[in-house]
Amino acid sequence: MKLRFKNARILTMEQPLQIIEGELWVENNLITYIGEKPSNITEKFDKTIDVERNLLMPGFKNAHTHSAMSFLRSYADDLPLHDWLNNLVFPAEALLKDDDEYHLAKVSILEYLTSGVTAAFDMYYKPELTAQAAVDLGFRIVCLGTVTKYRESVEEMVEAYKKLNNHPSGLVSYELGFHAIYTASKEILSELKKAADKLKAPIYTHLAETKVEFDNCMETHGMTPTAFIDSLGLWEYGGGGFHGIYVTDEDLDIMKKRGLYIVSNPSSNVKIASGIAPITKYLEKGVPVAIGTDGPASNNALDFFREMWLVSTLSKLDLMDASVVDALEVLNMATVNGAHAMRLYNADILKEGKYADVIMIDLNTPNMQPINNILKNIIYAGAKSNIKMTMVNGNILYYDGEFYLNEDVSEIYKKAQAITERIKVEMSK
């Protein structure tokens, strides 16, 4: 399959950022050409799309989410994190059974497509179900271990690591991870260390998300969450932390030394009143920041434009300085840093030989007009209604508001609704 996009503005995300005018060609799942329109085109294409001077750019990388939690969207809002987690989320999750997660994850994947997200870093139990949902919809996913003292064991994680990193689809990979220090025991963390050593693999976890987590860790271990995890050697091969709100200067040194990625999830942090991540400190220190939506239970949307806008503007508010965290920094976090955090090194920028994970931003909408600065428009004025196309691995999965999938979207909604209603009834008993 050979595809030609003509008459395009193209933001490859190579530094320094610039918009080039020209063409982008795709063959099967890879980009084969980016540049000016050649004067003489001898190639034959299966399809030519006139981009009408809209913008092609790399898809956004949702570097932290829990896709299968769609059944908890708007189920339990307006509660503090630890109440929400212990009294509602955990009991409701315990009622998931069979292949529920497969159907629930699909709803979130549809939402990613509408938001220009071409890959997600998904932390949830039964990762093989979420991986299968992604594959069946043609979406790229990096599943992540979710070890806790209650559910997923280190052994199960290692098994998933081997299985999902050799998935035949070319759309799936897997990384080591545990839910959080407050749901892990010392034994589990020590087993995790052994697994990381054996696989020479990075480890990811929820990190320093709330003041309570920070204070409890200080009290129990006499160390910050970051220092505690590092003291166990868990980041010997790198990895990252999700949220990263409560960190000290010494924590930043650890992150830098270990080559960690911090994934910020500002909507969730604002809505659950967890706090504002110190993005400017990460930037100063050179700790790469990526962006995630968190799951639909806390957020409640999976709207990457909301997250990008907040990563910039919350820092402005926090420091009462409108000049910090420029839109261009955020574009880099949303694409390149996200891809690298997930170890998707072939899906970071648009370039010959890279995956054709490409989105088209519609500039012919009132929120983008008149045009003064396209890059700032994306971050400050953009919305998911500007996503005209989402292509993953060379396949157009979403175009002009329609999904192009192997299955009926309304059937996906129906399945998810039935599961949600069953759990609601069981929860009310």
CA distance 265 to 281: 16
Site for a copy of itself in 22-81 (CB under 8 A): 70-75, 77-81
| Among positions 34, 309, 341, 389, the unique one binding a copy of itself when judged by CB under 8 A | 309
> Smallest distance from the beta carbon of 318 to a copy of itself, in angstroms?
9
Judged by CB under 8 A, the number of residues near a copy of itself is 73
Quick one: tokens of 310? 């907040």
Of 117-125, 147-155, 340-348, 416-424, the window that binds a copy of itself (rule: CB under 8 A) is 416-424
Task: Report if residue 276 touches a copy of itself, rule: CB under 8 A.
Answer: yes
Task: Report if residue 94 touches a copy of itself, rule: CB under 8 A.
Answer: no
Task: Report if residue 427 touches a copy of itself, rule: CB under 8 A.
Answer: no
Q: At what angle do helices 409-427 and 100-114 cross, to 10 degrees?
A: 130
CB 58 within 8 A of CB 386: no
From its phi and psi, is residue 239 left (phi > 0), alpha (psi between -120 and 50) or beta?
Answer: left
Give residue 392's identity as a one-letter amino acid code: V
Quick note: the x/- pattern for a copy of itself over 371-400, rule CB under 8 A, is xxx--xx--xxxxxx---------------
Q: Which residue has the tokens 């806390």?
A: 298
CB 348 within 8 A of CB 342: no
Omega before 225 cis (within 30°)? no
Site for a copy of itself in 180-239 (CB under 8 A): none
Between the alpha carbon of residue 294 and those of residues 108, 140, 237, 285, 391, the distances in Å are 11, 17, 24, 24, 22
| Among positions 7, 32, 280, 365, the unique one binding a copy of itself when judged by CB under 8 A | 365
Site for a copy of itself in 315-334 (CB under 8 A): 316-317, 319-324, 326-327
Site for a copy of itself in 113-142 (CB under 8 A): 114
CA distance 16 to 270: 32
Cβ-in-10-Å burial (0-12, 13-18, 19+) of 58 comes to buried
Of 39-47, 103-111, 133-141, 161-169, the window that binds a copy of itself (rule: CB under 8 A) is 103-111
> Smallest distance from the beta carbon of 299 to a copy of itself, in angstroms?
8
> Smallest distance from the beta carbon of 361 to a copy of itself, in angstroms?
14
Choose between 237 and 380: whose C-beta lies nearer to a copy of itself.
Answer: 380
CB 261 within 8 A of CB 337: yes
> Smallest distance from the beta carbon of 167 to a copy of itself, in angstroms?
24
